[in-house]
């Protein structure tokens, strides 16, 4: 209703002042030299106007307002615990409102190898960069490590070639900005455009503002991802751990119930592992477990799960696998482990062996506990039938007793 939203007398005052404000603006614009006008493309970022001089005070205010609002929108995903790729997906969509791009990518720095690896890429041509690693010269000894300053309108072909790819691309200019946390380089944020020399100092300034916030949140995302990974990974072997088995098997059993399929579980135990520790120490035992982990992974399908269940026991989850197929896989795994030749100390080779048992869902149980109990019983039957003595230690010059290598 009239008179309820605004004070009527205040509105009358502003209406009375409006003609003089328009006249003041017109007089100011007439006193300026004619601007260098050009057509504006649809969807062009507001910051592109920074290169257009001169501007009126009204335009400056409108531009600053749009920039501040866009930066506020970008800062919103910063407070949530997301993966680095998910965080960048949110940031990049907001970034386009103030910094125009045809493509956007994120490179994360590995402090161990001192190299950059592409963890996010969206847009024209740059998906080829995904998971590619940059050479040491580019990531460590190049401009980024030396100066820590952005590159404006650099040649995108250099980035592609540094990642070991063909430099052919439709992209003509790149704006590349380092991501820093506590004075440490953690990555690089890059935007690209199909127009040559597309980026201005205004774009550089805005991207640096975004990078200041992104550096913090991406550091937190990496810490979050590492914590999650460590919570589900065995530190010694790099395999999944017991907690991961519980989560993974619950999903596989649920899927098997829905599809009416089978899931096989193999429990594998390293033979005479205690004597390995007693004879060669825990370092020798750790090396043996690591070799077994590598051997198991080399045999499995990409969607099978191999995990360290505890001590010298390993569990393998094989989706859509019958008992007959699981028994074949069990023998294959045991033979692969028997081919391991571990030089435990100079001129001494340690031969390994393993006992294994199979359980199949739903025939032998419908839970992790029931399946592991049945596989454990089968594994001890296998161990008794094998009746292997302690692990043989052979002089490296004597190969007569070594198993045939395939």
CATH code, domain carrying 164 = 3.30.450.40
For 291, phi and psi rounded to 5 degrees?
-65, -40
Looking at residue 197, its pLDDT comes to: 94
In a domain, 80, yes or no: yes
Looking at residue 60, its pLDDT comes to: 54
Q: Which parts of the chain sit beneath pLDDT 50?
A: 1, 35-54, 136-141, 392-406
What pLDDT, in 10s, does the model give residues 24-37?
A: 767 766 665 554 44
* 213 in the same domain as 82: yes
Looking at residue 75, its pLDDT comes to: 61
| Count of residues making up the chain | 406
Last residue of a domain, one of 227, 261, 287: 227
Looking at residue 70, its pLDDT comes to: 60
Looking at residue 239, its pLDDT comes to: 92
Looking at residue 388, its pLDDT comes to: 52
In a domain, 358, yes or no: yes
In a domain, 319, yes or no: yes
Report the CATH number that the domain containing residue 249 is assigned in CATH.
3.30.70.270
Looking at residue 71, its pLDDT comes to: 63
User: What's the DSSP call for residue 79?
Assistant: G
Looking at residue 140, its pLDDT comes to: 38
In a domain, 4, yes or no: no
Burial class (CB in 10 A: 0-12, 13-18, 19+), 380: middle
Alpha carbon separation from 201 to 188, 198, 208 (Å, rounded): 18, 10, 10
In 300-396, where does DSSP find H-type helix? 323-338, 368-386
Q: How many domains does the chain have?
A: 2
pTM summary value: 0.52
């Amino acid at each position: 209703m009239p008179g309820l939203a605004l004070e009527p007398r205040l509105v009358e005052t502003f209406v009375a002042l409006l003609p003089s404000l328009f006249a003041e603006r017109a007089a100011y614009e007439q006193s300026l030299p004619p601007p260098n006008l050009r057509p504006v493309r649809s969807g062009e970022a507001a910051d592109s106007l920074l290169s257009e001089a001169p501007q009126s005070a009204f335009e400056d205010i409108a531009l600053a307002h749009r920039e501040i609002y866009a930066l506020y929108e970008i800062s919103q995903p910063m407070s949530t615990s997301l993966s680095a790729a998910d965080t960048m997906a949110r940031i990049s969509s907001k970034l386009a409102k103030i910094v125009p791009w045809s493509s956007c990518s994120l490179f994360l720095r590995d402090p161990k190898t001192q190299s950059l690896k592409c963890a996010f890429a969206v847009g024209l041509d740059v998906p080829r960069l995904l998971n590619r690693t940059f050479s040491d010269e580019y990531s460590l000894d190049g401009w980024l490590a030396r100066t820590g300053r952005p590159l404006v309108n650099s040649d995108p072909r250099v980035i592609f070639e540094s990642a070991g790819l063909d430099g052919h691309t439709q992209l003509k200019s790149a704006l590349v900005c380092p991501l820093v946390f506590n004075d440490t380089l953690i990555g690089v944020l890059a935007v690209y455009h199909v127009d040559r020399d597309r980026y201005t100092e205004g774009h550089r300034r805005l991207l640096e503002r975004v990078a200041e916030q992104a550096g913090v949140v991406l550091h937190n995302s990496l810490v979050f991802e590492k914590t999650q990974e460590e919570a589900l990974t065995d530190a010694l072997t790099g395999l999944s751990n017991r907690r991961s088995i519980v989560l993974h098997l619950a999903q596989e059993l649920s899927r098997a119930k829905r599809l009416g399929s089978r899931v096989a579980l193999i429990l594998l135990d390293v033979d005479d592992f205690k004597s390995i520790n007693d004879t060669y120490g825990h370092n020798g035992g750790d090396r043996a477990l690591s070799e077994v982990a590598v051997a198991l992974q080399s045999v499995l399908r990409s969607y099978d799960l191999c995990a360290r269940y505890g001590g010298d026991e390993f569990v393998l989850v094989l989706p859509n696998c019958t008992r007959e197929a699981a028994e074949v896989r069990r023998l294959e795994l045991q033979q692969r482990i028997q081919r391991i030749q571990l030089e435990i100390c100079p001129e001494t080779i340690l031969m390994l062996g393993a006992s294994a048992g199979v359980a199949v869902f739903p025939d032998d149980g419908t839970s992790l506990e029931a399946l592991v109990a049945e596989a454990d019983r089968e594994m001890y039957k296998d161990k008794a039938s094998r009746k292997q003595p302690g692990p043989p230690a052979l002089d490296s010059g004597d190969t007569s007793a070594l198993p045939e290598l395939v």
